[in-house]
Amino acid sequence: MPLRFGCIADDFTGGTDVAAAFRRAGLRTALVFGTPDATTVPPTDCDAVVVALKSRSTPADEAVADSLAAQRWLRDRGAAQLYFKYCSTFDSTPRGNIGPVTDALMDATTAPITLHCPASPANGRTVYQGHLFVHDQLLSDSPLRHHPLNPMTDASLVRLLSAQTRHPVALLDRSTTDQGVEAVRDAVEAHRRAGVRHVIADALTDDDLAVLGAAALELPVVGGAAGLAEGLGRAHPATGPATAGPPPPQGRAAVLAGSCSARTLEQIARFHAAGLPCFRLDVLGAAAGHDVIGSTLHWYRDQSPDLPVLIHASVSVEELAAVQNQLGVDEAAAQVEGMLGTLASRLVEGGVRRLIVAGGETSGAVTTALGIRAVLVGEEVDSGVPWTHTTTKAGDLALMLKSGNFGAPDLFTRTLTGASQETT
């Protein structure tokens, strides 16, 4: 059966988020991690295949090369349309990577024009007059202005994208979307005739995204977050039941967190407040050559196997800045990601069978360290946060890759102790 959607996600948690969106739209969806090659087993009988890369914060030429390799692999599997999934908060620097990757995918598919919309209303991301909001704040006023790798200090998507492409960028505002699918198609066509290559669309609701998705179904390349992917998916008739996940495997449970996002810090605080065992990694100590892995594993062995544990590098904005000032951003990230990757391997070898990873870059590091290449996308626990299922050398593993800002504050405690959902 031909593949309807080939999707390239620029980080691993973005991959799980968009895979959950396609699944919600009723599409059978598989998720592959890392640049696929001839040895990557092509999933069969899927409507959508998501290739999750670690290309959000890499140099633009690397991001382009990896994305083109994924595009060729998806094309060879018959993908009728490409979706480039980037962050709902448009995480990128002026030097990269959303513009260059989209341009390269458009060149490769000879697409004359594309539509972008990073809105994800389920997670409070909306676009109005081309400005990105995070709940009730402009992106540039939100906690994303302190992001450790991609601090977002401008909310104008036209301005942000124009800095990343030499091609014209234009806005399709909500008054057009309000007029329906035909009006959006006509507006995109008018922009194409005027020489525009990138159209940024407003969207406040899932209904707006359904209109945009239906209007964009014939464009070779479309870009945005999980919301527009769901809109596209809903515009395409499903061919079979969405994949159900197997029951969770028995074994210990752990959370590994490298995200310093506000929501992850809240989730960690809830876990701690519930009296569950938490261990904070000493990043400066590790950089100074101390055996932080050894002391963490020593602590872990003293914990009750019946309780989930949480190990985190995550720190407040102020502490993060202090570590980054001392080590540099890249060295600090390398220390954190190296430690969490090694710990993931040791924990899974030691019997952990349910593992939550918090943070996009962190998820990339952990998944790579565990040698996981593909997963089945299962039940969605909170919006954009599904369980995925895979098998490692050590046995079956239920893996949840959580974007830094996703999930309810009680996600870790509720998911791993079976506590009922809090009403907020």
Least separation in angstroms between residue 18's CB and ligand LB5GJZVW is: 7
Least separation in angstroms between residue 359's CB and ligand LB5GJZVW is: 6
Residues between 151 and 190 with contacts to ligand LB5GJZVW, criterion CB under 6 A: none
Number of residues that bind ligand LB5GJZVW (CB under 6 A): 17
Residues between 372 and 411 with contacts to ligand LB5GJZVW, criterion CB under 6 A: 384, 403-405
331, amino acid identity: E
Q: 3-state DSSP call for residue 390?
A: strand
Residue 21's Cα: distance from chain center in Å?
A: 11
Q: Which residues bind ligand ADP (CB under 6 A)?
A: 148-149, 258-261, 264, 283, 313-315, 320, 323-324, 332-333, 336-337, 359-362, 403-404
Which stretch in 8-16, 153-161, 273-281, 346-354 sits in contact with ligand LB5GJZVW by CB under 6 A? 8-16
C-beta atoms surrounding 186 within 10 Å: 13
Residue 126 makes contact with ligand LB5GJZVW by CB under 6 A: no
Residue 120 makes contact with ligand LB5GJZVW by CB under 6 A: yes
Rounded to whole angstroms, the Cα distance separating 74 from 37 reads 10
Angle between helix axes 292-301 and 329-349 (nearest 10 degrees) is 40
Angle at 418 between CA 415 and CA 419, to 5 degrees: 100
Closest CA to 208 of 314, 123, 312, 128: 128
Using the minimum distance from each CB to ligand ADP, give the nearer residue, 11 or 47: 11
Please choose which of ligand ADP, ligand LB5GJZVW, none residue 260 contacts, taking the beta carbon within 5 to 8 angstroms, the exact cut-off set by kind: ligand ADP
348, 392 contact by CB (below 8 A): yes
Using the minimum distance from each CB to ligand LB5GJZVW, give the nearer residue, 56 or 174: 56
Which stretch in 26-34, 87-95, 160-168, 267-275 sits in contact with ligand LB5GJZVW by CB under 6 A? 87-95
| Torsion angle of C-alpha atoms 340, 342, 348, 353, degrees rounded to 10 | 10
What backbone phi and psi angles, to 5 degrees, belong to 54? -115, 65
Residue 14 makes contact with ligand LB5GJZVW by CB under 6 A: yes
**Residue indicated by tokens 């239920």:** 398
285, 292 contact by CB (below 8 A): yes
Least separation in angstroms between residue 381's CB and ligand ADP is: 17
Least separation in angstroms between residue 406's CB and ligand LB5GJZVW is: 7
Please choose which of ligand ADP, ligand LB5GJZVW, none residue 184 contacts, taking the beta carbon within 5 to 8 angstroms, the exact cut-off set by kind: none
Please name the residues in contact with 389: beta carbons below 8 A apart, sequence gap of 6 or more. Answer: 245, 246, 375, 376, 378, 396, 397, 398, 399
Least separation in angstroms between residue 226's CB and ligand LB5GJZVW is: 6
Point out which residues bind ligand LB5GJZVW (CB under 6 A).
11, 13-14, 17, 87-89, 120, 225-226, 261, 359-360, 384, 403-405
